[in-house]
């Protein structure tokens, strides 16, 4: 607001508090670990600066003036706030402590978070992750603006000049409804075999959409009008027999249980997305994020 320097120091306020509590300059000086004349001088300076006398000094001892009594309340409040500032700062010294804003794309969130959140809580109990689920472009923008500390993304997206560390590869599986031609058999299926299939894809803006399209770019397929905004919905559509789709492997554990859904492995070259943890170049959070990445890699949601 004003920018004008305040006419007193925190040290001076500490002296006032010590004198008020001990009612004795010598003891107050001892408590503050300064020579008693230094304390006297600082009190004099403070009283001169404020134009107010805090104490009466006479033979009977040290007496608070009415002004001193009233201002002492304020002095204590300043010192209390300052002390709490110092204490709160301690909590932030540990990079793996305090609030930590993490983004995650919708095609990973439902599969990673159920395991990642408890794991993080156990490994870094002082960390308070605040998860934000949004599309890649939004997360990248928020990282750049400093509104996120890190984000779980798929590398194939445009990550501008973010720094990243790779968590692993997430292979794509073919998801078909029960009764579909591909629903029988165990051998990996070649991408080109999908020629002519009706493909279900994520909505625009979801990187998984582009990755799936890229994986099939040489295959002539029909894209259905429906575009899913969440992967579980997409899976549901496949199970309903509306079409087929590519599903990331990390979804397997959760989605494979559906009665009317069949998941088939794809033949080499198996398409995949690279899961990374990304952050703004030079972010203070880099240290913490690398440790978080290490933890997430050990969870083995995907191929290293």
The footprint of DNA (CB under 7 A) covers 5, 9, 11-12, 24-26, 33-38, 40-45, 57-62
d(CA 297, CA 227): 31
If the CB atoms of residues 42 and 245 are measured against DNA, the closer one turns out to be 42
Taking CB under 8 A as the binding criterion, the range among 27-35, 113-121, 190-198, 269-277 that sits at the site for its own copies is: 27-35
Are the C-beta atoms of residues 106 and 206 closer than 8 Å to each other? Answer: yes
Q: How are beta strands 272-279 and 163-177 bridged, if at all? A: antiparallel
197 contact, one of its own copies, DNA, none, CB 5-8 Å limit per kind: none
From the list its own copies, DNA, none, which binds 230 (C-beta under 5 to 8 Å, kind-based)? none
Give the three-class secondary structure for 276: strand
**Minimum distance of DNA from residue 153's CB (angstroms):** 21
Nearer to DNA, 1 or 33 (CB): 33
Tokens of 182: 């591909």
**CB-based contacts of 237: which residues, under 8 Å, 6+ apart?**
200, 226, 228, 243, 245
* CB contact at 8 A, 303 and 201: no
Query: How many angstroms from the chain centroid is the CA of residue 85?
Result: 23
Per-position x/- string for 125-154, each x denoting binding to its own copies as judged by CB under 8 A, each - no binding? -------------------xxx--x-----
Q: Name the 3-class secondary structure at 246.
A: strand
Decide: is 32 part of the binding site for its own copies (CB under 8 A): yes
Proportion of the chain in helix, strand, coil states, percent, rounded to 5: 45, 25, 30
CB of 117 to its own copies, least distance (A): 18
User: What is the nearest approach in angstroms of its own copies to the Cβ of residue 36?
Assistant: 14
Query: Which residues lie near its own copies (CB under 8 A)?
Result: 1-11, 13-14, 17-18, 31-33, 50-53, 56, 58, 60, 63-67, 70-71, 74-75, 77-79, 81-86, 88-90, 92-93, 98-101, 144-146, 149, 280-284
């Amino acid at each position: 607001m004003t920018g004008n320097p305040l006419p007193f120091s925190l040290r001076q306020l500490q002296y006032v508090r010590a004198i008020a509590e001990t009612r004795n300059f010598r003891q107050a000086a001892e408590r503050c670990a300064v020579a008693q004349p230094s304390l006297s001088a600082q009190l004099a300076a403070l009283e001169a600066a404020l134009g107010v006398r805090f104490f009466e000094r006479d033979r009977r001892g040290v007496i608070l003036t009415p002004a001193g009594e009233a201002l002492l309340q304020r002095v204590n409040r300043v010192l209390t706030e300052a002390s709490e500032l110092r204490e709160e700062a301690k909590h932030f010294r540990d990079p793996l402590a305090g609030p930590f804003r993490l983004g995650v794309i919708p095609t990973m969130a439902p599969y990673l978070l159920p395991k990642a959140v408890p794991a993080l809580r156990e490994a870094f109990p002082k960390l308070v992750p605040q998860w934000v689920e949004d599309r890649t472009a939004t997360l990248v923008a928020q990282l750049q603006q400093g509104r996120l500390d890190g984000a779980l993304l798929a590398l194939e997206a445009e990550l501008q000049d973010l720094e990243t560390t790779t968590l692993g590869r997430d292979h794509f599986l073919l998801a078909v409804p029960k009764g579909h031609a591909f629903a029988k058999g165990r051998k990996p299926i070649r991408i080109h075999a999908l020629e002519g299939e009706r493909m279900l894809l994520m909505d625009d803006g979801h990187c998984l959409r582009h990755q799936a399209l890229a994986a099939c770019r040489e295959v002539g397929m029909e894209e259905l009008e429906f575009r899913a905004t969440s992967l579980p919905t997409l899976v549901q559509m496949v199970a309903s027999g509306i079409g087929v789709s590519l599903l990331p492997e990390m979804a397997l554990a959760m989605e494979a249980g559906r009665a009317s859904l069949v998941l088939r492995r794809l033949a080499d070259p198996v398409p995949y997305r690279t899961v990374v943890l990304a952050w703004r170049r030079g972010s203070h959070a880099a240290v913490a994020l690398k440790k978080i990445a290490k933890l997430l890699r050990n969870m083995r949601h995907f191929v290293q």
